[in-house]
């Protein structure tokens, strides 16, 4: 990971609600982690949008806990960091799948918005392949009204959509393999279908400050990855010690 000007990073994140194009790993390492993910698909089946893959696979756990990544997260939510979720997001070539304009925090039920997401590219995320689009400054508008959609091509589980977002406000966030974007949970973002001839593979990681708790139920889990957790609001996820350990898969 290249050296980052944290003052500028924080300034840009606070102003725009996201920062994109951050070099996290080399393209060679990205290819290695892509191979690991595709090997897991062969052994396990579809891993697209499977929750908490870092508890059954080593590669996503290693990527989510890279010291350089945690250094960035620390700048945004503080030293005490929970790893909440890691999931692969895959758009197959020629797929009609898209993601409508939405805010991540709308349905997550968290008590506070001290949260940040990393989207790490394991294959090229370009305009053609359906890279993310963000609306700069939208995180300062608070929660927006979302409508449910029945469009089967919408990747979001509820099809949640913020209507009337002007495409003129959309900022493309292309990423080369090994690069990442970081965005706030209230930042409006979306993506279009993959019209390229390669899979668009990203690793999506969510981090929380330890004082954040779940308000909808008492069964949520997370993993402390930096600092201390004096609140203990979440049950503990266990990191993958090997790939697809049967006991971990059952959990």
pLDDT digits (tens, 9 = 90+) for 23-50: 999 999 999 999 999 999 999 999 998 9
Can you read off the two tokens belonging to residue 127?
């305009």
CATH architecture of 13-139+160-250: Sandwich (2.60)
Query: If you average pLDDT over residues 203-221, what whole number do you get?
Result: 97
Closest to 90 in 3D by CA, of 38, 30, 23 = 38
Q: What is the DSSP letter of 150?
A: -
Q: Where are the alpha helices (DSSP H) in the chain?
A: 6-16, 27-44, 58-64, 67-77, 246-250
The answer to whether 88 and 50 are in contact (CB under 8 A) is: yes
Rounded to the nearest angstrom, the gap between the alpha carbon of residue 151 and the centroid of all alpha carbons in its chain is: 22
pLDDT band at 157 (very low <50, low <70, confident <90, very high): low
For the chain, what percent of residues have pLDDT higher than 90? Answer: 76
Helix (H) / strand (E) containing 207: strand 200-209
Q: Report whether pLDDT(239) > 80.
A: yes
Give the mean pLDDT of the chain. 92
Q: What is the pLDDT of residue 142?
A: 82
Which SS3 state, helix, strand or coil, does residue 53 take? Answer: helix
Q: Report whether pLDDT(158) > 90.
A: no
Query: If you average pLDDT over residues 167-173, what whole number do you get?
Result: 89
The answer to whether 120 and 221 are in contact (CB under 8 A) is: no
The full set of domain ranges for the chain reads: 13-139+160-250
155: CB partners within 8 A, 6+ apart: 49, 89, 91, 97, 98, 99
Q: Which residue has the tokens 């797929």?
A: 95
Mean pLDDT comparison of 45-59, 130-144, 154-168, highest-scoring range: 45-59
The least confident of 82-86, 102-106, 242-246 is: 102-106
Is this model's pTM higher than 0.85 or not?
A: yes
d(CA 157, CA 170): 23
The answer to whether 223 and 248 are in contact (CB under 8 A) is: no
Query: If you average pLDDT over residues 77-86, what whole number do you get?
Result: 98
d(CA 175, CA 22): 9
């Amino acid at each position: 990971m290249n050296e980052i000007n944290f003052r500028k990073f924080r300034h840009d994140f606070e102003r725009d609600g996201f920062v994109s194009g951050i070099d996290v790993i080399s393209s060679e390492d990205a290819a290695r982690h892509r191979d690991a993910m595709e090997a897991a698909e062969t052994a396990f089946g579809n891993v697209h949008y499977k929750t908490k893959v870092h508890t059954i696979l080593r590669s996503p756990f290693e990527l989510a806990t890279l010291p350089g990544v945690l250094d960035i997260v620390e700048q945004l939510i503080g030293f005490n960091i929970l790893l909440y979720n890691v999931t692969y997001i895959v758009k197959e070539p020629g797929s009609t799948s898209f993601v409508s304009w939405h805010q991540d925090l709308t349905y997550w039920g968290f008590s506070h918005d001290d949260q940040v997401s990393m989207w790490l590219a394991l294959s090229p995320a370009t305009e053609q392949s359906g890279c993310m689009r963000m609306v700069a400054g939208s995180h300062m508008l608070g929660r927006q009204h979302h409508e449910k959609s029945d469009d089967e091509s919408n990747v979001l589980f509820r099809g949640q959509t913020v209507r009337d977002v002007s495409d003129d406000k959309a900022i493309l966030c292309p990423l080369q393999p090994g690069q990442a974007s970081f965005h706030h949970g209230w930042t409006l973002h979306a993506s279009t279908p993959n019209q390229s001839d390669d899979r668009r593979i990203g690793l999506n990681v969510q981090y929380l400050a330890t004082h954040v708790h779940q308000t909808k139920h008492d069964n949520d889990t997370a993993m402390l990855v930096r600092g201390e957790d004096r609140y203990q609001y979440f049950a503990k996820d266990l990191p993958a010690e090997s790939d697809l350990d049967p006991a971990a898969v059952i959990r």
